[in-house]
Amino acid sequence: MKIGIFLIALLYCLNINAYEISKNDVDSWLKDTNLTCQLFHNIDTTNLKNWRTYLVTKNGKKLVFNSVKTMFNYFYTNFQKHDENIKSMLITDYKNGNLVDATDAFYVFGSNIMSARGDDLIPFENLEDAKEFYTKNSGHKILKFQEINKNLIDYLR
């Protein structure tokens, strides 16, 4: 819980540049980026566009992950190493494919949809889309960024 609260405070204190990248611009934004998952190096995320998430460092390096759960797992596992180096965290909206700031997203927990890594958090840019997905796919709860913590990520693993 303390790490989750610290993460929120840290992201705001770092003056993170929140930005959105439309689905049409993702490929050009990722030009020259290694699309192998940073946590599971044997997973190429090229065919996982709807699930990819990103940590962007202050020097502009893009760390690619194959799901929300994987990105948060990487972050919490390497918290001391990465906490001051992160410029932004981006998720791919499950419905429209846009990249949006992870701190502004809504996450459906406990649905019947699985990522490449199994049970996961399904991310959405807006609450209406999250509610629609929640209803259609037997979701258990809709979470905000602040509600995601290491214990939840460990539970999903």
Write out pLDDT tens, residues 85-103. Answer: 788 889 999 999 888 999 9
Q: What is the pLDDT of residue 45?
A: 60
The answer to whether 117 touches 74, Cβ cutoff 8 Å, is: no
Q: Which of 25-34, 60-69, 81-90, 105-114 has the lowest mean pLDDT?
A: 25-34
The residue that leads in pLDDT, 93 or 79, is: 93
Mean pLDDT value across residues 123-149: 95
Q: Is 129 a residue whose pLDDT tops 70?
A: yes
Give the C-alpha separation, 2 to 56, whole Å.
Answer: 23
Cα–Cα separations (whole angstroms), residue 114 to 109, 126, 142: 11, 20, 16
Give the C-alpha separation, 146 to 43, whole Å.
Answer: 28
The residue that leads in pLDDT, 123 or 71, is: 123
pLDDT digits (tens, 9 = 90+) for 97-125: 888 999 999 999 999 888 877 789 999 99
Within 13 Å and on the Cβ side, how many CA atoms surround 119?
A: 12
